[in-house]
Copies of this chain bind each other. A is one copy, B any other.
Amino acid sequence: MSAITNTELLQRRYNVMGKSSPLFYEKPLHLVRGEGVWLYDNDGRKYLDVYNNVPHVGHCNPRVVEALYKQASTLNIHTRYLHDNIVEYIERLTTTFDDGLSMAMLTCTGSEANELALRMARFYTGNQGIIVTDFAYHGNTEAVAELGTGFMPEAKHTKRVKSFSIPDSYRGISGVAESDLADAYAAQVQQAIDEFEAEGINVAGMLVCPDFANEGLLTVPKGFLEKAVAMVRKAGGVMIADEVQAGFGRSGAHFWAHQWYDLTPDIVTMGKPMGNGHPLAGVIARADMIEAFSKEAMYFNTFGGTPVSCAVGMAVLDALQEDRLMENAVSTGAYVTAGLRKLQDKYPLIGDVRDLGMFFGVELVTDRATKVPAIIESRRIINLMRERGVLISTIGVTDSILKLRPPMPFQPEHADLLIATLDDVLEIVSREMAG
C-alpha cells in the first residue's frame, strides 16, 4: 500500500513525466496488485479487468512468473550466442501458422515489430508506399507513426502512406448498397495503389489489423480483405497482418485473427499478449523475405529473443494450451455476447454489438436510425463503470464504441458481473439522456 495520497503521486508524476503522459479515467486509478482477471487499488478495492489484453493468461499468472524467475536466475543474454530457448520457442510459434510463414525475428515491442515489417516489405519490394485504414494506429516510432492516420503528427506529412475508409458494415458508405460494400472499399485500395504509381512511389504493402480493433472491432464486408490483398500483390506489394492486439488465440476458433479470412499474409507482427506483460514481440514472415533482409541489414536486437523472453513466451503458450483458454474464448465469449445482445434489446443507446472470441465492441448511438455517435455517453459510461469496479475503455473514430477485451481466463461469473454492472450504468445514462 502506498503511503502517499493519489493527489501527491499525480503531482510528482506530472513533475517527472509531464502532464500529457496518458492516464485512464477522469479520476486516475492507483493500482498496487493484480491477480487473474482482478486488479486492486491502493485502498484495497478490487476491480474486474475487462480491458487489458496484455496480461493474456491472467495478471501475475504463476506459471509465467515462475518461468521468468527461473530463467532470469540462470541466464539472460542476447542472441549472438546459441541457446535452446529461442530455437524451441520459434519452432513452437511457427506451428501455429500456415505453411510458408516459417521464420521469425524477435523484438521487444509491437512498434519494433511493425518497424521491422515495414523495413522488410520496403527492402523486399523495392517500393515505399504503404496502405492502411484512415483510422489506423500501429505504434510510436517514426515510420510507424506515419501509418497513424488516427492522430499521429507524422501521418499528416508523409507521402509514403495512403489510406482507405474503415471497412465498416454497420455504418457503410452513403449511397452504396450493403452487397456492394466489399467492392466499394476495395476500389479505394485500388485507388491508393494507382495514386502511388502516378506519384512514382509504388506500393510496398498493405498493413492492417485483421480484426480492425482500433477502428472499432469492425464487421468487415465479406470478401473485402481478400480482394484488397490480391490488388496489392498484383501491384507488387505484400500483405502485413498486425496481430499485436488480435493474436494468440484471442479470437477463439483461430490462433491468429487473419485465419478467419481466406488469405495467408506475407508478414505477421505480434506483441502485447505474447509475454503476458514481459516486453516480447516479433515478426513471422516468409523465409525468403527474412533471409534477404537479414543478409543486407544485419538486424540485431539486444533484448529481443533472450532466454528469459523466450522462457516467458513458452509459459504463455503452455498456459493457453493447458488452461484451454481458446476454448474458453469461444464459450465464455459467446456468453458475453449473448448478455450484451440482451442489453441491446433493452437500451436503444446500443446501436451494434460485435465480437471476435474474447473481444467485444459495443457501438453506442444517440439515435439508432441516424447512428449519431454517443460520444459524451460513452465517456460517462466508462467512468461510471470504473466507479462501480469494472474496467473498460472506448475505441473508434469518435471514441463511442465500448472496448471490452479482458484477460483470457475470464469466466461466465465475471461476465455476469460485467453485464449486471453495465445494465445499471446504462440505465443511469439512459435516464440522464431522457431527463
Give residues in A with beta carbon < 8 Å to B: 2, 4, 6, 9-10, 12-13, 15-24, 28-34, 39, 52, 54-55, 59-60, 62, 65, 68-69, 72-84, 86-87, 90-91, 94, 102-105, 107-112, 115-116, 118-119, 123, 140-143, 145, 151-154, 271-272, 276-279, 287, 290-291, 294-304, 306, 308-309
Identical subunits present = 2
Partner of A72, one of B68, B140, B297: B68
Are B21 and A294 in contact (CB-based, < 8 A)? yes
- Tell me, in angstroms, the Cα distance from A34 to B294 when the chains sit together: 28
Whether the pair A60, B72 counts as a contact (CB closer than 8 A) is: yes
Cross-chain contact A84 with B18 (CB below 8 angstroms): no
Q: What residues of B have a CB within 8 angstroms of the CB of A119 in the complex? A: 141-142, 145, 154
Cα–Cα, bound, A218→B314 (Å): 42
With A108-B109, A294-B18, A295-B20 known to touch, is A31 a contact of B83 (CB < 8 Å)?
Answer: yes
CA gap between A151 and B299 in the complex, in Å = 11
* Separation of A198 and B16 alpha carbons in the complex (Å): 39
Q: How many angstroms from the CA of A86 to the CA of B83 in the assembled complex?
A: 32
Contact present for B82 and A23 (CB under 8 Å) = yes
Interfacial chain B residues near A109, Cβ < 8 Å: 107-109, 112, 301-304
Shortest CB–CB separation between residue A65 and chain B, in angstroms? 5
Query: With A296-B153, A303-B109 in contact, is A82–B30 under 8 Å at CB?
Result: yes
- Choice from B20, B69, B123 contacting A153 with Cβ under 8 Å: B123
Report whether A16 and B103 are in contact in the complex, using a CB–CB cutoff of 8 Å: yes
Nearest neighbor of A16 in chain B, beta-carbon distance: B90
Other 10 A-B pairs with CB < 8 A, given A55-B76, A278-B303: A13-B86, A15-B102, A23-B80, A29-B82, A34-B74, A54-B302, A109-B301, A123-B153, A151-B298, A277-B303
Asked whether B277 lies within 8 Å of A308 as measured between CB atoms, the reply is yes
A277 contact set on B, CB distance < 8 A = 72, 76-77, 303, 306, 308
Q: Are A84 and B301 touching (Cβ within 8 A)?
A: no
What residues of chain B lie closer than 8 Å to A145, measured between beta carbons? 119, 297
Would A13 and B87 count as touching, CB distance under 8 A? yes
Closest to A20 in B: B294
A297, B54: Cα distance in complex, Å:
23
Shortest CB distance A220–B (Å): 25
A273 CB to nearest chain B CB (Å)? 10
Residues of B within 8 A of A300 (CB): 21-22, 140
CB-nearest residue of chain B relative to A28? B82
- A160 to chain B minimum Cβ distance, whole angstroms, is 10
Contact B112 A75 (CB under 8 A): no
Selected contact of A81 from candidates B30, B65, B278, CB within 8 Å: B30
Chain B residue contacts of A30, Cβ below 8 A = 81-83
Q: Are B76 and A59 in contact (CB under 8 A)?
A: yes
Closest 8 A/B residue pairs (Cβ) = A20-B294, A76-B277, A279-B303, A279-B279, A30-B82, A16-B90, A142-B143, A108-B108
- Docked-complex contact A17 and B90, CB < 8 angstroms: yes
Among B80, B86, B140, contact of A299 (Cβ-Cβ < 8 Å): B140
B55 touching A10 by the CB < 8 A rule? Answer: no
A141 touches B153 (CB 8 A): no
B82 adjacent to A60 (CB under 8 Å): no
By a CB distance below 8 angstroms, the chain B residues around A28 are 81-82
CA–CA, A111 and B139, complex, Å: 14
Residue from A29, A39, A82, A151 whose CB has the most chain B CB atoms within 10 Å: A82
Contact present for A18 and B81 (CB under 8 Å): no
